[in-house]
């Protein structure tokens, strides 16, 4: 039963109809959670005893940083599925994820930079976490550039799948080498803030925003995948039927 559903989901036509019905069910909770999280974070949560009001950018910054890694894993996972089972849908999900993941990584870097200016007095420090996030952005951009450079979409999908799997093997190595490099150069910096001692009035909006970002990603990746599918399948019968019925 489940495996049959899984096979059906692999068919672009079925996926297109299914995801069209699924998107509202994800978008509405996403909007509700995001409004609630922003209200809790920007209005209800108390100001930080050290950082004052400016810490509130955390409610965007931290979930973006979490998403940046999460989406890379999804992309590589989808890439592996595409390589092994030659599943068109996984190819589409992988490349759609690359663009969204790059945006989240960029957002995490920008918000971190804006947060860093009043806190550390500088837009950028070569801190381990910042550096590995920057390298993650380059990995995303490499995947996107490779995908754009190859004309045939299916070849492009397989090539980027290999690249993102190579990236997954490398991400922990890069992360720990950068961390090691940083600790060799300078001691613990101001960047470390105590995660366990976070106030629950700050933790709740943070978690709300994290879930809202996850849902946002799900909605956007489905929308992008639908668009990409229509483009790829434009010569098939079901797409032309779809166009005629509208």
Binding-site string for another protein from residue 93 to residue 132, where x marks contact by CB under 8 A and - marks none: ----------------------------------------
What's the closest the beta carbon of residue 61 comes to another protein, in angstroms?
A: 22
Give 118-182 as a 3 state SS string: HHHCCCCCCCHHHHHHHHHHHHHHHHHHHHHHCCCHHHHHHHHHHHHHHHHHHHHHHHHHHHHHH
| Helix 58-85, helix 153-185: angle, nearest 10 | 130
Q: Is 146 in the site for another protein (CB under 8 A)?
A: yes
Q: Is 135 in the site for another protein (CB under 8 A)?
A: yes
Whole-angstrom CA distances from 26 to 121, 221, 229 are: 40, 11, 20
Q: Is 168 in the site for another protein (CB under 8 A)?
A: no
Q: Is 155 in the site for another protein (CB under 8 A)?
A: yes
Q: Which stretch binds another protein (CB under 8 A): 20-28, 103-111, 119-127, 168-176?
A: 168-176
What's the closest the beta carbon of residue 175 comes to another protein, in angstroms?
A: 9
Write out the residues near another protein by the rule CB under 8 A.
83, 135, 138-139, 141-142, 145-146, 149-150, 155, 158-159, 162-163, 165-167, 169-170, 173-174, 177-178, 180-181, 184
């Amino acid at each position: 039963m489940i495996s049959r559903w899984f096979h059906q989901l692999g068919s672009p036509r079925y996926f297109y109809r299914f995801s069209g019905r699924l998107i509202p069910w994800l978008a509405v909770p996403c909007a509700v959670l995001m409004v609630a999280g922003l209200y809790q974070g920007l209005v209800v949560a108390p100001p930080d005893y050290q950082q004052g009001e400016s810490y509130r950018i955390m409610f965007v910054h931290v979930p973006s940083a979490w998403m940046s890694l999460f989406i890379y894993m999804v992309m590589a996972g989808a890439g592996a599925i595409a390589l092994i089972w030659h599943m068109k849908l996984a190819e589409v999900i992988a490349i759609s994820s690359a663009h969204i993941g790059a945006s989240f990584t960029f957002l995490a870097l920008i918000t971190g930079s804006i947060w860093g200016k009043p806190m550390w007095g500088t837009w950028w420090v070569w801190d381990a976490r910042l550096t590995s996030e920057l390298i993650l952005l380059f990995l995303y951009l490499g995947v996107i550039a490779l995908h754009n450079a190859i004309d045939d979409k299916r070849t492009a999908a397989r090539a980027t799948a290999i690249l993102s799997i190579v990236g997954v093997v490398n991400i922990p190595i890069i992360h720990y080498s950068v961390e090691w490099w940083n600790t060799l150069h300078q001691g613990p910096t101001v960047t470390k803030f105590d995660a366990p001692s976070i106030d629950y009035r700050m933790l709740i909006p943070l978690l709300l925003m994290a879930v809202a970002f996850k849902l946002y990603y799900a909605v956007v990746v489905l929308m992008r995948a639908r668009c990409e599918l229509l483009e790829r399948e434009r010569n098939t019968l079901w797409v032309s039927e779809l166009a005629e019925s509208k």
